[in-house]
Amino acid sequence: MKNASVSLAVLTALVTPDLYANQSGNSTITLGEVRISQKESTQLRTENILTSVDVMGGDQVEDKNVMNSWQLLGQMPGIQLTETGQGAESGKATFRAFNGEGYINAIKVLIDGIPSNVNSGNQRFIDMIFPLDIEYIEVVRGTNDPRYGLHNIGGNINYATRQGGNYTDSRLTYGSFNTREVQLAIGHEEGNFAQNYLLAKQDSDGSRDHSNSNKYSLGGKWFISNDQQTFRIGTIARLYHHQADEGGYLTRDELRASRTDSPAKNANDRSDRDMKHLSLHMDWQLDEDMVLSNKLYYNSYNDDRSITFTSYRPGNAPRQRRFWDEQQRGVLSNLTWRSNDVVTLDGGINYEEQDNAYERKRFTYNVPTDFNAAPARIQNDDHYTLRNLGGYVQAVVQPTDALKIIPAMRVDKFSGHTKAFDGNSVAKGSLQDYGWIEQPKLSVVYSVNPDIDIYANWGRTFQILTGSTSPAYLINGAFSYSPSINTGKEVGVKFRPFTGTQARVAVWQQDATDEVSNMPATGTTEGLGETRRRGIDMQFTAQLDDHWTVWGSHAIQQAKVIKAFNADGESLAGKEVFSTPRYISNLGFDYRLDDDWRFGMQARAQGNYYIETTNEAGKYGGFALLDANVSYRVSAATSIDLQVKNLTDRQYEYVWYDNFFWGGDDQAMFSPAAGRAAYVSLNVKL
């Protein structure tokens, strides 16, 4: 493992090497070795954001067997994985006591610095990325990162893929549930021209009946620079396709009868998803103290999903076929200038426009439902736009070698229109008028000595309503909404108790003024009112010697309603926000016996959580899992590894509450996770 100050993932290499040399102190923890294969330019090194930042190197993920790349984040501190396990709708990763149900999408996702959330805030574009193409994953927690606005409520995640270098890496995997996967990553750099390619194909029968999955991803990156390495321009393109059956959710009785069965009602449930990405990147070092960075991008998301939620009522509410067609175009421009040895200024603007369509059809009760038949009714046939103009400015002020102060301000403005058909009539209207949303921020770090950094930050972020209908848009008598303002604060200390070890302890709190539980896909919106999230994050990573690496974390968290009332007028004050576990923990080690043999284990656990707003339906969802792996290097270019997931064959489930919104029966519904699974892989690196 490289020292964090050397292997930090976000190096501003196009800036002269001493541009930030006088800036000491950061709160970043790095796990693994970050491969720096291509010079890249960013606004400021993310360590200077001075919140709780974690970077995981590509060596920690390239040999991991996962069905979806969001699952890789389970190795990182305080990350909650919500494993819905329904075909292409597989789940997502969240943190800071925000859940992954899809109602409160509070985590901004970026791929190579490009915004990569769909309109609702869900993280579906991550599926385009495969482990062998990842250079590092960076997680920024809290409210004081001014670079991003929309969906950046509790923090952000950036997947950085490999750029430049000379390599041909391949990985061939076979394992449980007849899982087959091939990944091929190629990099070729000669002179000032660099090109990278990825081909990945994955097929699996799934751990349950009717859960087949077939996907592929293609990617290419082409960059050219000048002889002085002060100018670089390039493009990134990706294509992704995924077809998957959905095993459906089980009642408690169905779960007890069989964890692998798929009820007959779900026989026609499936997903068919296509995604595309194209971006243009330009980085220009204007002089030794100034860097300009620009990104122009296009994201496309098309999804056809058929799903049956329940079979208890003969109506058509729970039998739906949904179509998404989302097109995103945007630009990000950033300028960083070191005005003198004390002050560095950084600012940027972004503009994104979305042109989206959403159609939802409901079908007559049948077991199984024939989703190719004529629908009983059309619930949605909506066409809507969303425009976001945002900008920020921040200053890195370092009056002494030990003290660094970063004030920042971000503003965002939104506009858009919808043409929504609810099965009876067409309604047209504009987006809620939020005005300019101001987000001040402040960070301070003080280096007590070379081994201890104390930091504190305060900042505001926001939540707006998403989707195609009321109340996101002013139609059908929608009330005027103000954005929910999240105010976060954090104090922490990063320290190095001995050589090769990094540790961090942080205490944080985040208050929202008027949080909304919003599920655009179902048209359900429920006000949670004033909420408060708070917690303690503890983590460490240690390179004990040439053989042993150990890491661990324990996040204690709580999300509660401070002031709100349900539809019956009953107070929700003191209730916990649903689907939020009280703790998330992990512990792992890597043992390198010699140059040929490597062994590793990782334990991951999270607590139970309430599954609905009144907290009366009980707690579910907790687990404690153990994974193990062994790797043997056959030759300088070839290795074989064996990975066993859920080594103890622990039974656990994702659980949600089926209530009246779905036409259901007010009970817990379960999606059982896979039991013990083993995978063997052949790796060839040339």
- pLDDT tens profile 509-553: 999 999 988 888 777 777 888 999 999 999 999 999 989 999 999
Question: Nearest-CA neighbor of 352 among 418, 279, 282?
Answer: 279
Q: Over the stretch 391-410, which tens digit does the pLDDT of each residue have? A: 999 999 999 999 999 999 99
Neighbouring residues of 342: CB distance < 8 A, sequence distance ≥ 6? 397, 398, 399
- pLDDT at residue 449 tops 50: yes
Q: What is the DSSP letter of 184?
A: E
Q: Is beta strand 583-592 parallel, antiparallel or unpaired with respect to 179-190?
A: unpaired
Residue 58 neighbours by CB distance under 10 Å: 22
- pLDDT at residue 17 tops 50: no
Q: How far apart are CA 535 and CA 555, in angstroms?
A: 7
CA distances from 425 to 379, 384, 429, 434, 613 (A): 11, 16, 13, 27, 32
Average the pLDDT over 208-228 and give the result: 96
Average the pLDDT over 212-222 and give the result: 98
Torsion over CA of 574, 577, 579 and 581, rounded to 10 degrees? -60
Q: How far apart are CA 209 and CA 247, in angstroms?
A: 6
Please tell me which residue, 661 or 420, carries the higher pLDDT value.
420
Q: How far apart are CA 316 and CA 334, in angstroms?
A: 50
What is the edge-to-edge ordering of all strands in the sheet holding 107-111?
Answer: 28-31, 53-57, 134-141, 155-161, 107-111, 114-115
Let me know: does 341 contact 22? Beta carbons within 8 Å: yes
Q: How far apart are CA 550 and CA 552, in angstroms?
A: 7
Average the pLDDT over 448-461 and give the result: 95
Let me know: does 400 contact 380? Beta carbons within 8 Å: no
Percent of the chain scored above 90 by pLDDT?
Answer: 80
Please tell me which residue, 248 or 16, carries the higher pLDDT value.
248
pLDDT at 255: 95
Give just the sign of the alpha carbon dihedral 98, 101, 104, 109. positive
Of the listed ranges 16-30, 205-219, 314-328, the least confidently predicted one is: 16-30
pLDDT at 100: 86
Give residue 526's domain range. 4-685
Let me know: does 495 contact 446? Beta carbons within 8 Å: no
Number of domains in the chain: 1
Residue 594, classed as helix, strand or coil, is coil
Q: How far apart are CA 55 and CA 138, in angstroms?
A: 4
Radius of gyration (Cα) for the chain, nearest Å?
A: 24
Neighbouring residues of 264: CB distance < 8 A, sequence distance ≥ 6? 367, 368
Q: For residue 284, what is the enclosing H or E element?
A: strand 270-287
Residue 287 neighbours by CB distance under 10 Å: 9
pLDDT at 296: 98
Average the pLDDT over 422-442 and give the result: 94
Read off the CATH number of the domain in which 105 is found.
2.40.170.20
- pLDDT at residue 463 tops 70: yes
Q: How far apart are CA 205 and CA 375, in angstroms?
A: 30
Q: What is the DSSP letter of 86?
A: B
Question: Nearest-CA neighbor of 29 among 44, 12, 11, 9?
Answer: 9
pLDDT at 160: 95
- pLDDT at residue 57 tops 60: yes
- pLDDT at residue 2 tops 80: no
User: Exposed, middle or buried: residue 69 (CB in 10 Å: 0-12, 13-18, 19+)?
Assistant: buried
Which two structure tokens, joined as six digits, stand for 109? 């996702």
pLDDT at 416: 97
pLDDT at 39: 46
Let me know: does 51 contact 27? Beta carbons within 8 Å: yes
Which two structure tokens, joined as six digits, stand for 535? 């917690």
Please tell me which residue, 100 or 632, carries the higher pLDDT value.
632
CA distances from 135 to 130, 457, 664 (A): 11, 28, 44
Question: Nearest-CA neighbor of 141 among 457, 542, 563, 580?
Answer: 457
- Banded model confidence at residue 438, pLDDT cuts 50, 70, 90: very high
Question: Nearest-CA neighbor of 319 among 380, 272, 263, 268?
Answer: 268
> Looking up tokens 């509410």, which residue turns up?
317
Mean pLDDT rounded to a whole number for the chain = 90
- Banded model confidence at residue 168, pLDDT cuts 50, 70, 90: very high
Q: How far apart are CA 296 and CA 118, in angstroms?
A: 17
Q: How far apart are CA 145 and CA 107, in angstroms?
A: 12
- pLDDT at residue 141 tops 50: yes
- pLDDT at residue 8 tops 70: no
Q: How far apart are CA 461 and CA 675, in angstroms?
A: 39
CA distances from 449 to 345, 401, 493, 500, 539 (A): 26, 10, 12, 16, 20
- Banded model confidence at residue 49, pLDDT cuts 50, 70, 90: low
Q: How far apart are CA 391 and CA 439, in angstroms?
A: 10
